[in-house]
Chains A and B, each alone.
Chain A
Amino acid sequence: MQGLAGAAACGTVLASSGRAGPVAASPYRPQFFDAAEWAFLVAACDRLIPADASGPGAVALDVPRFIDRQMDTPYAHGAQWYMNGPFMAGPDNLGYQLPYAPRELYRHGIAGMNAHAATRHGRPFAALSAALQDDLLRAAERGSLVFGDVPSATFFEQLLANVMEGAFSDPIHGGNTGMGGWAMLGFPGARADFMDWVDQYGVHYPLGSVSISGERA
């Protein structure tokens, strides 16, 4: 079941799902996401990067924790984006034009996903079967859902980007627990010295990953 703090935060939602939730590697109490949002995030992460024969899934890699921690960075407050108005819609290829920072995209997007789940299936996203969750995620990815003035594809891209970051960034940021993301990829992390490996042509690198904090896999 859910990691301890996570289960406490969203136990009622999971209890109603009727299926075993994915298991987080570390107990964690979210700071930004409320119980319903957290339940969505954990369930969505589990579908975007499921545990399988290739390696661990996003939940075991603590990607939800990574995203929750990111919400407290300047990035999530939109501090790195040009956020001056006026805000005008334009062709997609001219890029993002909404007045929302990542925190707001999550708030709008998760509420929208849960509303669509409730309308279509009578239950929140986290309580749906994996197949129905995938259908909703694909619909969001295609942009065929509308969450007020946030196109579902905009929210989906925000989520997918942060999920990838959480699974494959240095564990110092709260995801990629045990460097499991790097191990499945064969990425040596912060080793950052291949002086003696440049011309070892075609050979598998024998050393495990290391992290910025000195952890070894």
Chain B
Amino acid sequence: MSTDARRLDPVDVVIVGGGWAGCIMAKEMTEAGRSVVVLERGSDRSTASDGAYPASIDELEGNFRYKLFQDLSKHTVTIRNNSRQVALPYRRMAAFLPGEGVGGAGLHWSGVHFRIPPDDLRLRTRVIEKYGAKFIPEGMNLQDYGVTYEELEPFFDRAEKVFGTSGEAYKVNGQVVGKGNVFSPSRSDHFPLPALKDVYTAHLFRKAATEAGFHPYSLPAANASRQYVNPYGAQMGPCNFCGYCSGYACYMYSKASPNVNILPVLRRHPLFELRAGCNVLKVELDSDGRRATGVTYADAEGNTVTQPAELVILSAFQFHNVRLMLLSGIGKPYDPARNEGVVGRNFVYQNVTTSTVWLDPKVETNQYVGTGGGGVAFDDFNSENFDHGPLGFVGGSPVWVNQAGVKAIAAAYSGGPPGTPRWGSAWKAGMIDTYRHSLRIDAHGTNMAYRDVYLDLDPTWKDAHGQPLLRMTFDWKDNDIRMNRYVVDKIGNVAKAMGARRVHLTSREFGKPFDTRQYQTTHLGGGAVMGTDPGTSALNRYLQSWDVHNVFVIGANAFPQGTGYNPTGMVAALAYWAAHHIRTTYLARPGPLAG
């Protein structure tokens, strides 16, 4: 395809994907004086056009017709539970909802904005230190990130200031300063904005979790609790708890997005160019495959175009980055039989289950009030905050009430308590009771990496451009199911302290395979992970390809295993971390970054 492609004038940096990672990298590279082209395969989007009130307050279009999400008719994946099965196409949106268009999933995300627990960054080392190497189950590819919390801290801080994140710190510069998460590491500064108010259900959860002996804190939220101007000069309005975050462009300009927090400034920069509707087909390599020369893409009119560049940054969604590496021959593809090769290795998901608590029928829980990133959590069973020794599993879950605004169609789908019919008069009564008087508590847990869980190219199905779909081989594993069941059991204690009328604890079940038909979370990770060993990671600790030094790959693909937290804060920090090292070292002396 590349031979008949129209060849454009070279630019310094070409960036694949216009979401958070792509926009952060574009901002950093233009600040460094480099010419940048961002290629986004979806349409151009802005809050003004896609978030305008009241047309955007449309649950059918937002959450059920997936107006802002990936067009599966053109690109999807195939999925199977194990390598003995034939993987089948993910034909309809359900289990996960990848984004598309300028802003990416960053336009229609919820806003939960975490750092990462320091122990999660060196989980293999930490588990061996505490419990011995034999504690790691057979077949689990447990790894370290190769970067420490202390190294990343300035970049977490930077990302929070750009996002206008609301929250309450626990420790700043080693001093206890507030009622934040007692398990969280010290910060160099406070959150840029105070925590959002607790909605009623979060308020009840905070009280009950305290009574149950846990340590609740306000979820860090990239939903502005007040008016805010970020370091780029981009402006945010105060969140009004409208309840339309996830699936929508925020009409209040309160939820951080690339479209609100970076692009208004970036679009005016003379060195920046955005090309929407451009689907990158492959990264072009020189004859020995050691250096990228640019990318080839199909533009909106269907022309095949080659954009030469000195530096190629892949910053599409997690699995698109992995697929593009496989299609381009960057890095050795993973071979599960030998547990060798790195591209496709350590594909992970997140282990989320939602339990429901019914309160007294006199109490109105007002579930339509909500903000995507707000709520109350406790971390007593997350990361290495508890002793895993007697429990015999690796990983954990934060537990929270994150009432993002439950809307009417979703309420109808959710129905009534277990045992209620799914339609008819009994459904109606149960559904109305549940909507008015219940609340939901999530166990938002880790999913570890396993030797036989991976990504590769599908042998059968193709995308709209005739290229193979990515194939996911994924199932839940015993370790992760046991972790989920242990933590969900603790939710029972909180529900009891709430004086629940009825409780339905939902936990993962042994022997029940991953089900692509039910929404779980869009927090997919791994597949092209970072690390310090080229034998087990596709990227070095600066997110630079070990094999092709002028390719950097930014995204949740870099996570060696799943974390209990939402990934966006970590992805943004990794983008700033990689950008810092590109700016301070790589641009002056292009080559593999050492150390």
Determine whether the beta carbon of B425 is less than 8 Å from that of A192. Answer: no
Q: Give chain A nearest CB distance to B236 CB in angstroms.
A: 15
Determine whether the beta carbon of B88 is less than 8 Å from that of A97. Answer: yes
In-complex Cβ contact of B513 among A93, A161, A194 (8 A)? A93
In-complex Cβ contact of B57 among A91, A141, A192 (8 A)? A192
Determine whether the beta carbon of B422 is less than 8 Å from that of A94. Answer: no
- Complex interface bits, A47-62 against B, C-beta within 8 A gives 1, otherwise 0: 1111010110000000
Determine whether the beta carbon of B92 is less than 8 Å from that of A81. Answer: yes
In the complex formed, the residue of A with least CB distance to B422 is A160
Q: Give chain B nearest CB distance to A165 CB in angstroms.
A: 6
Determine whether the beta carbon of A54 is less than 8 Å from that of B428. Answer: yes
- Among the 9-residue stretches B14-22, B174-182, B404-412, B568-576, the one with 4 or more Cβ atoms under 8 Å from chain A is B404-412
Q: Which of A186-202 contact B (CB under 8 A)?
A: 186-190, 192-195, 197-202
- Among the 9-residue stretches A22-30, A35-43, A111-119, A177-185, the one with 4 or more Cβ atoms under 8 Å from chain B is A177-185
Q: Give chain B nearest CB distance to A50 CB in angstroms.
A: 6
Q: Which of A156-190 contact B (CB under 8 A)?
A: 160-161, 163-165, 167-170, 172-173, 181-182, 184-190
Determine whether the beta carbon of B73 is less than 8 Å from that of A81. Answer: yes
Determine whether the beta carbon of A97 is less than 8 Å from that of B55. Answer: no
Is the C-beta of A20 less than 8 angstroms from some C-beta in chain B?
no
Determine whether the beta carbon of A82 is less than 8 Å from that of B89. Answer: yes
- Complex interface bits, A120-144 against B, C-beta within 8 A gives 1, otherwise 0: 0000000000000010010001000
Q: Which of A51-104 contact B (CB under 8 A)?
A: 52, 54-55, 73, 75, 78-84, 86, 88, 90-97
**Total inter-chain residue pairs, C-beta < 8 Å:** 193
- Binding site secondary structure of chain A: loop
Q: How far is the CA of A73 from the CA of B199 in the complex (A)?
A: 37
Determine whether the beta carbon of B79 is less than 8 Å from that of A94. Answer: yes
Is the C-beta of B522 less than 8 angstroms from some C-beta in chain A?
no
Determine whether the beta carbon of B408 is less than 8 Å from that of A194. Answer: no
In the complex formed, the residue of A with least CB distance to B198 is A199
Q: How far is the CA of A86 from the CA of B459 in the complex (A)?
A: 12
Chain B residues closer than 8 Å to A81, beta-carbon distance: 72-73, 91-92
Please judge, given known A-B contacts A86-B460, A141-B422, A212-B55, whether A187 and B411 are in contact too, CB under 8 Å: yes
In the complex formed, the residue of A with least CB distance to B423 is A48
In-complex Cβ contact of A94 among B73, B80, B428, B460 (8 A)? B80
12 extra interface residue pairs, beta carbon distance < 8 Å, beyond A48-B423, A52-B428: A50-B428, A80-B93, A82-B91, A84-B89, A84-B461, A90-B88, A160-B422, A185-B431, A190-B54, A198-B369, A202-B200, A205-B366
Chain A residues closer than 8 Å to B436, beta-carbon distance: 185-186
Chain A residues closer than 8 Å to B86, beta-carbon distance: 88, 90
Q: Give chain A nearest CB distance to B268 CB in angstroms.
A: 30
- Binding site secondary structure of chain B: loop
Instruction: Count residues of A near B (Cβ-Cβ below 8 Å).
Output: 64
Determine whether the beta carbon of A192 is less than 8 Å from that of B242. Answer: yes
Chain B residues closer than 8 Å to A170, beta-carbon distance: 57-60
Determine whether the beta carbon of B198 is less than 8 Å from that of A95. Answer: no
Please judge, given known A-B contacts A164-B409, A168-B408, A169-B60, whether A188 and B424 are in contact too, CB under 8 Å: no
Chain B residues closer than 8 Å to A186, beta-carbon distance: 364, 432, 435-436
Q: Give chain A nearest CB distance to B544 CB in angstroms.
A: 33
Determine whether the beta carbon of B199 is less than 8 Å from that of A198. Answer: yes
Please judge, given known A-B contacts A48-B424, A82-B91, A205-B364, whether A185 and B514 are in contact too, CB under 8 Å: no
In the complex formed, the residue of A with least CB distance to B410 is A168
Closest 5 CB pairs of A and B: A192-B242, A168-B408, A169-B60, A190-B57, A164-B412
In the complex formed, the residue of B with least CB distance to A203 is B364
Is the C-beta of B211 less than 8 angstroms from some C-beta in chain A?
no
Is the C-beta of B517 less than 8 angstroms from some C-beta in chain A?
yes
Chain B residues closer than 8 Å to A173, beta-carbon distance: 60
In-complex Cβ contact of B423 among A49, A88, A204 (8 A)? A49
Determine whether the beta carbon of A97 is less than 8 Å from that of B240. Answer: no
Q: Give chain B nearest CB distance to A190 CB in angstroms.
A: 4
Determine whether the beta carbon of B73 is less than 8 Å from that of A95. Answer: no
Determine whether the beta carbon of A50 is less than 8 Å from that of B72. Answer: no
- Among the 9-residue stretches B3-11, B63-71, B149-157, B327-335, the one with 4 or more Cβ atoms under 8 Å from chain A is B63-71
Determine whether the beta carbon of B88 is less than 8 Å from that of A168. Answer: no
Chain A residues closer than 8 Å to B89, beta-carbon distance: 82, 84, 97
**Chain B residues within 8 Å of A, Cβ to Cβ:** 53-55, 57-60, 64-66, 71-73, 76, 79-81, 85-94, 197-200, 203, 238, 240-244, 251, 363-366, 368-369, 407-409, 411-413, 422-425, 428-429, 431-432, 435-436, 460-462, 513-517
**Chain A residues within 8 Å of B, Cβ to Cβ:** 47-50, 52, 54-55, 73, 75, 78-84, 86, 88, 90-97, 134, 137, 141, 160-161, 163-165, 167-170, 172-173, 181-182, 184-190, 192-195, 197-205, 212, 214
Please judge, given known A-B contacts A90-B88, A95-B91, A195-B241, whether A187 and B73 are in contact too, CB under 8 Å: no
Determine whether the beta carbon of B423 is less than 8 Å from that of A199. Answer: no
Q: How far is the CA of A47 from the CA of B364 in the complex (A)?
A: 29
Determine whether the beta carbon of A212 is less than 8 Å from that of B461. Answer: no
Determine whether the beta carbon of A168 is less than 8 Å from that of B409. Answer: yes
Determine whether the beta carbon of B81 is less than 8 Å from that of A182. Answer: no
Please judge, given known A-B contacts A188-B368, A212-B55, whether A93 and B423 are in contact too, CB under 8 Å: no
Please judge, given known A-B contacts A84-B89, A96-B91, whether A165 and B424 are in contact too, CB under 8 Å: no
In the complex formed, the residue of A with least CB distance to B461 is A84
Chain A residues closer than 8 Å to B412, beta-carbon distance: 164, 167-168, 181, 185
In-complex Cβ contact of B197 among A73, A134, A190, A198 (8 A)? A198
Q: How far is the CA of A91 from the CA of B86 in the complex (A)?
A: 10
In the complex formed, the residue of B with least CB distance to A86 is B460
Determine whether the beta carbon of B73 is less than 8 Å from that of A194. Answer: no
In the complex formed, the residue of A with least CB distance to B239 is A195
Q: Give chain A nearest CB distance to B314 CB in angstroms.
A: 23
Determine whether the beta carbon of A197 is less than 8 Å from that of B92. Answer: no
Q: Give chain B nearest CB distance to A204 CB in angstroms.
A: 5
16 CB-based A-B contacts, threshold 8 Å: A49-B428, A55-B432, A81-B72, A82-B90, A88-B86, A93-B513, A95-B88, A95-B94, A160-B423, A164-B413, A165-B64, A168-B411, A168-B412, A170-B59, A185-B432, A192-B240
Q: How far is the CA of A200 from the CA of B58 in the complex (A)?
A: 25
Q: How far is the CA of A202 from the CA of B407 in the complex (A)?
A: 18
In the complex formed, the residue of B with least CB distance to A94 is B88
Q: Give chain A nearest CB distance to B220 CB in angstroms.
A: 18
Q: How far is the CA of A95 from the CA of B77 in the complex (A)?
A: 12
Q: Give chain B nearest CB distance to A94 CB in angstroms.
A: 5
Determine whether the beta carbon of A197 is less than 8 Å from that of B369. Answer: yes
Q: Give chain A nearest CB distance to B230 CB in angstroms.
A: 22
